[in-house]
Amino acid sequence: MRYDKLPPELTELPQWVCVWNGSKIPMQAREKKAASSVMPETWAVFDDARVAVDAGVYDGLGFVFNNNGIIGIDIDAGFDEDGFLSALSIDVMSQCQSYTEKSRSGRGIHVLVKGRLPFRGRNNGSGVEIYQSSRYFIMTGDVLIFPEIIENQKAIDYIIATYFPEVEGDTDCSSRRIYSPTYPKPTDGVIPLRPTYPPIVEGGRNNAMASLAGQLHNLGYSKKDIYRELCFANEQACVPPLPERDLQTIVNSITKYRR
């Protein structure tokens, strides 16, 4: 554990709990009672939590996300069978370029980045979790790359669209697509072959294009056809259009998953 490597954005916040080895139950730093990821009165300042660990009362520290601008991304399979970073980890890390550490198990990674989510948090069921509140990460300070937490909403939007394509809002129980083209009515008996793509302003382009790619992939479009349609939608709707390399990255990320 390298707690001296933890970013000050975390250690300055009173959002810390403790843990024992072999357990994921958050514990209060000042007494041997369970903490809660939704009850701030059970959290502690960093120095108090670290004192409890240094004294041998607990084995590790946890940071609680509290909807104050810090997003946590947890990847279970951070490394492949040969010990190299997995393609999933590389994709998320390269997009975020923000604080990244090994998890306590040594098999996963945590990425922390500043921004916002349209929901409290999600687990996509395929090894990726993302949270902004009501959860905590057991921190190690075992930095892999990018020692500082940066603001990167573009990366968060990309990750939501790529790994959480069907977003369920906290106040609306119905699933919704992040971006939906509109299909015009037939005119003079002619059915338009392509939908109308609503304008997409800067800040939402990657998110929208990844959502569209996911829809096309689920409908059975080939990788080549998805890329061709994204190029068309990019020119028609994105203001300004995304670089082609961004579209290629989106298509590669979306199509590696089974339909």
- Please state, in angstroms and rounded to a whole number, the distance separating the CA atoms of residues 63 and 139: 7
Residue range(s) defining the domain that contains residue 199: 179-255
CB-side exposure of 142: number of CA atoms within 13 Å? 15
Whether 156 is in a domain gets the answer no
Is residue 17 over pLDDT 80?
yes
Is residue 229 over pLDDT 80?
yes
Whether 174 is in a domain gets the answer no
Both 138 and 216 in one domain: the answer is: no
Region 32-50: what's the mean pLDDT?
A: 94
Both 113 and 194 in one domain: the answer is: no
- Residue 41 carries which DSSP code? G
Whether 232 is in a domain gets the answer yes
Whether 243 is in a domain gets the answer yes
pLDDT digits (tens, 9 = 90+) for 183-205: 666 666 665 667 888 888 776 78
Both 25 and 87 in one domain: the answer is: yes
* 139-90-224 Cα angle (round to 5): 145
Is residue 160 over pLDDT 70?
yes
Pairing of strands 200-201, 238-239: parallel
Both 20 and 90 in one domain: the answer is: yes
- Please state, in angstroms and rounded to a whole number, the distance separating the CA atoms of residues 160 and 211: 9
Both 52 and 126 in one domain: the answer is: yes
Whether 60 is in a domain gets the answer yes
Question: Looking at the 3D structure of the chain, how many domains does it have?
Answer: 2
* Cis-peptide, bond into residue 8, ω within 30° of zero: no
Q: What is the pLDDT of residue 197?
A: 87
Both 133 and 183 in one domain: the answer is: no
Alpha-carbon distance values, 158 to 31, 78, 161, 183 (Å): 41, 19, 5, 25
Both 203 and 143 in one domain: the answer is: no
pLDDT digits (tens, 9 = 90+) for 51-87: 999 999 999 999 999 999 999 999 998 998 888 999 9
Both 85 and 201 in one domain: the answer is: no
Q: Which among 114, 136, 151 is the end of a domain?
A: 151
Using pLDDT thresholds of 50, 70 and 90, give the confidence band for residue 16.
very high
Whether 11 is in a domain gets the answer yes
Both 23 and 98 in one domain: the answer is: yes
- Please state, in angstroms and rounded to a whole number, the distance separating the CA atoms of residues 256 and 246: 16
Average pLDDT, the chain: 87
| CA-atom Rg of the chain in angstroms | 21
Is residue 249 over pLDDT 50?
yes
Contact 150, 188 (CB under 8 A): no
Whether 164 is in a domain gets the answer no
- Please state, in angstroms and rounded to a whole number, the distance separating the CA atoms of residues 61 and 209: 38
pTM: 0.66
Whether 162 is in a domain gets the answer no
Region 246-254: what's the mean pLDDT?
A: 83
